[in-house]
Amino acid sequence: MKNSRLFALGVCFGIALIQAHLLPAQSDFDLSLLGSGNFTLETVSLQKGSGISIETDLQNVAAIIVEDVNAGKEIVRIGTAGIQQELQLRKEGRPEADVVADTDSIRGRFQYKTAHDLTATTAIRITVILTNGIEIPFTMESRGSIANRRITRTFDGKTCSTYSQTCSSDTQPTERCSKTCCTDTVCYDCFPCSITCGPCDFNDPPGCKSAPPPDQQTIAVSLDSKPDTVAWRKSSFVLGRMEPGKNVSYLMEEWAVIVSSRQSGEATPKIEVLKASSPAFASVLSKDLVQVAQSSRRAQKRNLAEDGEAGAPILIIEAPVHPHNSRFVPAPTLSLSDAELPPGIAAVQALVRADFSEEEDTVDGLQILHAHGPVPQKLVELLRDRLALVRKPRERHRTVVFALVNITDAIEVTSLATVLPKCCCYGKWCV
């Protein structure tokens, strides 16, 4: 009876909050009220329906409600005997599985079979009702189907929670992903990684520690008759330009096109920034080039004079180092569907930047960074239609490709560099 009164009081208090603030965002709920412990959801696709396993060691749990966010349907409801009446009054309709636990608090492992198919589901909402009547919802998500997943949330009773996901696949090895976040919403993906969205700092006030500088690399390509990478000093610029994606934010690259010229009798070349992705990157790069010329004249003279043709433009890219950027995972490649040139387009050479979203293999954005001669809009549209990205079916990630396009009696495309922007949580923590 005491629990029932407390539950009713909690419901009234919750209704008052909703009326005052409408529907609060998920991050507004205080997950520290759950105390310390783990909550694991495991799903299995069956020939008809799904198998669902719930395991928790959280304390003082009176009920657990599992809902399919995509279908808007309650799947499993577990509650102690003392809370059953309140659970039945909370909404119309019945869940696929309604279980009464013969205990004062729900702990341990519970397994159920349901006719509900989770193949098309990407998000599951868990509502934990404590014995004092407080309801705490949180969501477990997967970038693809949540079927055949094992997802664990770890709560420490303070401000942080750990999110881990194991993705079963038809091919080995099994993919795993683990994330630690200070807030309830985290970036979700499923590739081999270890993401730290924000380690906890339990000082007063508690919160996330400052993000470390991102791993990044400097790429330099000489744009002469035979484009090739050249040795270049690491830039002092720190990447920070963010762009939104479908499920996460992306830490993007910066680029610049420079040209060097040397007058007779000069010990070092004069270097000019022709175009850059941002004024900030152009400014830092210009300062770096002055330091290079002053501190390493012999090496820089060889790089610019011998590795590249005199006066040839050089493409400088400052790119994030993504886990996919390794010899173990081949980078996507650029393809041209048709090299035939329609009439009316004059010969020209152009440096392009092609941006591909995580969902499509066709060009999402195309920029002309530098060109020897005019580039008609007709050619830009032609390249948009014919350029495509070749990647493995499971590797759906935003990709940027820098390429040199030569227009003679046909179209020739040479890839210069491929960049995989980093996934980021809240525009701060990137992997």
Task: Note the pLDDT tens digit of each residue in 370-384.
Answer: 998 899 999 999 999
In this predicted structure, the answer to whether residue 428 has a pLDDT above a threshold of 60 is no
Among 102-106, 124-128, 337-341, 424-428, whose mean pLDDT is lowest? 424-428
Residue 120, C-beta contacts closer than 8 angstroms, at least 6 positions apart? 70, 71, 145
pTM of the model: 0.56
Model pLDDT, residue 224: 79
In order, the DSSP letters of 82-150 are: GGHHHHHHSSSS--SEEEEESSSS--EEEEEEES---TT--EEEEEEEETTS-EEEEEEE-SS--TTEE
Q: How confident is the model at residue 327 (pLDDT cuts 50, 70, 90)?
A: very low
Q: 254: which strand partners?
A: 318
Q: CA of 52: how far to CAs of 73, 124, 147, 186, in Å?
A: 15, 11, 9, 23
Task: Note the pLDDT tens digit of each residue in 302-317.
Answer: 444 344 455 789 999 9
**What average pLDDT does this structure show over 227-243?**
84
Model pLDDT, residue 26: 36
- Buried b or exposed e, range 175-208, using 16+ CB within 10 angstroms: bebebbbbbbbbbbbbbebebbbbebeeeeeeeb
Task: Note the pLDDT tens digit of each residue in 271-291.
Answer: 789 999 999 999 999 888 877
Mean pLDDT for the chain overall: 75
Model pLDDT, residue 12: 36
Amino acid at 5: R
In this predicted structure, the answer to whether residue 293 has a pLDDT above a threshold of 80 is no
Q: At what angle do helices 279-295 and 297-305 cross, to 10 degrees?
A: 120
Which stretch, 87-96, 136-145, 158-167, 364-373, has highest mean pLDDT? 364-373
Q: How confident is the model at residue 337 (pLDDT cuts 50, 70, 90)?
A: very high
- Give the integer Cα–Cα distance in Å for 325 and 277: 22
On the CB side of 215, CA atoms within 13 Å amount to 10
Task: Retrieve residue 214's tokens.
Answer: 């991102």
- Give the integer Cα–Cα distance in Å for 45 and 305: 62
Model pLDDT, residue 278: 93
Model pLDDT, residue 316: 95
CA angle, 163 as apex, 158 and 165 as ends, to 5°? 165
In this predicted structure, the answer to whether residue 301 has a pLDDT above a threshold of 50 is no
